[in-house]
Amino acid sequence: MIKTFIVYNELETDRKLLVADLKECFLEHKVVKAIYPSQTHVPFLKSIQAISQKRTGIALNLAEIGCLLSHRNIWQQIIKEKDNQHQGYLIVESDAVVSDLIQLDYQFEKMHQLYDLFFWGAFEGRVKLFRSSRKNIQTYEATNSSYAYGTPLINSLYCAYGYSLNKKAAAYLLSITNKFQYPVDFWKKNLAQSNLNVGAITPELISIHTGVLSNIQVTKGNHIKKWLLYFLVEIKNRIIVFFK
């Protein structure tokens, strides 16, 4: 049974049914209250924003600070667990949706024999695996889809709506985020110097629900420009992983 942390705050009324579904998927779960600085006192909030501005050029917004603190809270709890070092713990956001629970159950323990940190979904399905590391998964008999796993291009990772990690990864992430700099899901910075074994699966088994609004990202500017940017990033990432 997958030990799961669900990040949720009752203020997220539009996600209540989604969280109910997640609880049914993962019976051994713990709901961790998502932190909203607008509702919960965060010490030195202005200083945190000023420091992140100085270190990265962009100040963390309130939602990003809340998200970071929420995930750090979970990582701290994982460190205190009495399980072995290979035990994986799944973390899902309140807007996450599981597309193939059978496959997730079937592969979870195996992946944590191989990886410290594993992405079951990220960047809305845009994760890319290095061709040299890519391995096809022996599909569970009840499913018809074809999956592959391997080492992801870190720059193709974004979002934190469905990932799992062991104590080693939790300790590393706590250390790297001890000084406020980047958002929790800015993996190309937070994992840049890690010695963790990082893996991912494609297509993703955990996706983000498109019917609810993000509590972090705010839609701004020209949608055509955003689409073009993602298109160019997609092409670049495809080229990089093909030759590695």
- Helices 62-80, 167-176: inter-axial angle, 10-degree rounding: 140
Average model confidence (pLDDT) for the chain? 90
What is the Cα–Cα distance from 208 to 93, expressed in whole angstroms?
9
- Each as own residue / partner, the long-range contacts of residues 26-30 (CB below 8 Å, 24 or more positions apart, any chain) are 26/2, 26/90, 26/92, 27/1, 28/1, 28/2, 28/3, 28/4, 29/3, 29/4, 29/5, 30/4, 30/5, 30/6, 30/77
Instruction: Check if the beta carbon of residue 102 is closer than 8 Å to that of residue 140.
Output: yes
Quick one: average pLDDT of 164-170? 97
User: pLDDT digit string (tens) for 77-88?
Assistant: 999 998 888 899
Does pLDDT of 218 surpass 50? no
How much of the chain, in percent, has pLDDT values that exceed 70? Answer: 91
Number of domains present in the structure of the chain: 1
Higher pLDDT, 143 or 148: 148
pTM for the full predicted model = 0.90
CATH of the domain at 129: 3.90.550
How much of the chain, in percent, has pLDDT values that exceed 90? Answer: 74
Does pLDDT of 17 surpass 50? yes
Higher pLDDT, 6 or 140: 6
Instruction: Check if the beta carbon of residue 102 is closer than 8 Å to that of residue 124.
Output: no
Give the domain extent around 139: 4-242
Distances (CA, A) of 9 to 31, 34, 123: 9, 5, 22
What is the Cα–Cα distance from 243 to 44, expressed in whole angstroms?
46
pLDDT value for 219: 46
Higher pLDDT, 242 or 75: 75
